[in-house]
Amino acid sequence: MIFIPVNLGGDHWVLARADLRARRMRIYDSLVTFREDKIYLRQFKPLQVVFPQWLQDVGFYNIRPELQSADLWKVRIVKDVPQQEAGSGDCGVFMLMFTMYLMFGLKLDFDSSHGHYFRKKITVDIFTGDIAL
């Protein structure tokens, strides 16, 4: 798995999780209002082209040729993920927490009431150079 922070429109952060074996991107978005729109889904089309090309450019397919395919990567929006409060500006915090929880194999069981705690935690993690949950 590779975790990719994605900025949409210059003001909203989501997480893309790349599954190299399945050639699939799963999108974790903390603002449900963006998810159902077809225009929203089109914003991830470049990932379907750029990411596999990047894997080619860095030599990944030289090491794992069985994972290379001419097929486009699939993009799926993950439903039922924790949601931020509208107008809270917590999308970046949620994107980082999605990443940390998924990295450690944990269930996404937090909510918007944890935003203040997570901001402090992220600050401490940056200053100490240690990521722990």
At 35-66, the pLDDT tens digits run: 566 777 788 888 888 899 999 999 999 999 99
Residues 93, 115 contacting (CB under 8 angstroms): yes
Model-level pTM greater than 0.95?
Answer: no
Residue stretches of the chain with pLDDT short of 70: 33-37, 132-133
- Tell me, what's the pLDDT at 113? 84
Chain-centroid distance of CA 69 in Å reads 22
Residues 99, 21 contacting (CB under 8 angstroms): no
- Tell me, what's the pLDDT at 36? 60
- Tell me, what's the pLDDT at 11? 86
- Tell me, what's the pLDDT at 57? 95
Q: Whole-angstrom Cα distance, residue 7 to residue 15?
A: 9
Residues 47, 31 contacting (CB under 8 angstroms): no
